[in-house]
């Protein structure tokens, strides 16, 4: 594996499982010193232990990405431990399936706080040290659900759309300071969170999600981690303000039926 993040310090939020854990392990494997932050201290510690077992430099903490003091403390941990912050991955997200009029005010507020306000807080506290050191990279986890609507996820749709446009605004503001800001927009990813959301229908929902992706399957957390690592790396040095879609072709079509049957390889 390459060491393209050698000497760099990265923070990944919601890194106790799924995309966050895969990203933390990917960056650590590429040489980064990593701060693993998660609402579950148990899961954060488990991710950190896996990184340490592989020889990586890692710190972890329990944190709520929607709480300003917690986000500020996460940045401070990176600065106290290693003196800099080069890569910030704002990965926290939350959603509760419900039709719009059935969505409670509490659910709306929590979804927006964890999914969108957390990104604002990451930028608010993460950008100053990047500015002081002369540059850095931010990658936010958005979603294809931020590019189009879903039935039964109105708060999540609104919050993820906000992540995409906040990414663009931050990219414009920071471009002259050698700070790049991008986001990745996953399609259906097979993670613990997607299984929890589906509940008892997990297997049924997994099959349905696989069927609507042109590649014929859901994505994996490791595949999204690879996209995030690319955007955070020097290989993406001329990319900022972008929303990189990684969705197995889900959003490539109009949704209209085929005009001609596609060829089937023999």
Q: Are 130 and 136 in contact (CB under 8 A)?
A: yes
Q: Identify the three-state secondary structure at position 181.
A: strand
- The answer to whether residue 94 is catalytic is no
Give the neighbor-by-neighbor strand order of the sheet with 243-246: 58-62, 33-38, 9-12, 87-90, 136-141, 179-186, 243-246
Residue of 59, 156, 180, 188 marked active site: 156
Query: Which residues lie closer than 8 Å to 203 by C-beta, 6 or more apart?
Result: none
Q: Are 65 and 37 in contact (CB under 8 A)?
A: yes
Q: Are 188 and 208 in contact (CB under 8 A)?
A: no
Tokens of 41: 């201290």
Q: Identify the three-state secondary structure at position 149.
A: coil
Q: Which residues have a catalytic role annotated?
A: 156
């Amino acid at each position: 594996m390459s060491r393209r993040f050698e000497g760099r310090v990265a923070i990944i939020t919601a890194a106790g499982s799924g995309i966050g854990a895969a990203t933390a392990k990917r960056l650590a494997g590429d040489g980064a010193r990593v701060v693993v932050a998660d609402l579950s201290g148990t899961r954060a510690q488990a991710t950190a232990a896996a990184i340490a077992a592989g020889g990586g430099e890692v710190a972890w903490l329990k944190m709520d990405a929607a709480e300003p003091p917690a986000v500020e403390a996460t940045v401070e941990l990176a600065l106290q431990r290693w003196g800099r912050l080069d890569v910030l991955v704002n990965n926290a997200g939350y959603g509760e399936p419900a039709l719009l009029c059935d969505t409670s005010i509490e659910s709306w507020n929590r979804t927006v706080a964890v999914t969108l306000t957390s990104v604002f807080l990451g930028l608010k506290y993460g950008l100053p040290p990047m500015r002081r050191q002369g540059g850095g990279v931010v990658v936010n986890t958005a979603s294809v659900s931020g590019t189009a609507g879903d039935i039964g996820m109105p708060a999540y749709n609104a919050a993820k759309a906000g992540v995409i446009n906040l990414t663009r605004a931050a990219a414009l503001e920071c471009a002259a300071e050698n700070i790049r800001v991008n986001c990745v927009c996953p399609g259906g990813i097979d993670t613990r969170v997607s299984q929890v959301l589906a509940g008892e229908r997990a297997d049924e929902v997994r099959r349905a999600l696989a069927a609507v992706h042109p590649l014929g399957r859901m994505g994996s957390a490791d595949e999204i981690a690879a996209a995030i690592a690319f955007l955070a790396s020097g290989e993406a040095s001329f990319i900022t303000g972008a929303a990189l879609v990684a969705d197995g072709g889900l959003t490539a079509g109009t949704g209209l039926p085929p005009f001609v049957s596609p060829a089937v390889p023999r």
